[in-house]
């Protein structure tokens, strides 16, 4: 896993360290602690959701959405901390935009899979 300035377990205290071995990456604030394990868990939960939706197994989707919300409700929600850790305004704005899309996606998926009557044609 790449080293990230300020990440839990990361080595070195270079406040302007970019991505590992890449001086052109976004600059990070070394004072912000990032929990990469949280980020991996969130990604795994999203992948499980995608897999359930691909095979139309909507019975598990509500539970997976709840688990995703629990992971992102934690104080160590890494995606929100990335937005605080990155110094580049454009990258910060992009991360915030992607966070918003992810949150809306989970909410919409949970709503439509929990309320199948919404999808039924009204003339039936």
Please check whether residue 87 is in contact with residue 26, taking contact to mean a CB–CB distance below 8 angstroms. yes
- Domain definitions of the chain by residue range: 36-119
Separation between Cα atoms, residue 59 and residue 57, nearest integer Å: 6
Give the tens place of pLDDT for each residue, 98-108: 888 998 999 99
Q: Which of 38-52, 71-85, 86-100 has the lowest mean pLDDT?
A: 71-85
Q: pTM to 2 decimals?
A: 0.64
The residue among 56, 53, 83 whose CA lies nearest residue 68 is 53
Separation between Cα atoms, residue 115 and residue 20, nearest integer Å: 45
Q: Which of 3-12, 26-35, 87-96 has the highest mean pLDDT?
A: 87-96
Please say if the pLDDT value at position 17 is more than 50. Answer: no
What is the DSSP track for 72-83? HTSTT-HHHHHH
* 3-state secondary structure (DSSP) of residue 22: coil
Give the tens place of pLDDT for each residue, 61-74: 888 998 988 888 76
């Amino acid at each position: 896993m790449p080293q990230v300035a300020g990440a839990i377990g990361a080595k070195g205290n270079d406040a302007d360290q970019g991505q590992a071995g890449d001086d052109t990456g976004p600059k990070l604030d070394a004072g912000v602690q990032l929990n990469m394990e949280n980020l991996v868990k969130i990604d795994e939960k999203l992948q499980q959701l995608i897999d359930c939706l691909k095979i139309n197994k909507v019975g598990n989707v509500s539970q997976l959405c709840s688990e995703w919300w629990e992971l992102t409700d934690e104080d160590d929600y890494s995606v929100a901390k990335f937005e605080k850790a990155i110094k580049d305004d454009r990258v910060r704005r992009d991360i915030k935009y992607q966070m918003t899309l992810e949150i809306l996606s989970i909410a919409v998926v949970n709503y439509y899979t929990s309320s199948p009557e919404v999808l039924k044609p009204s003339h039936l």
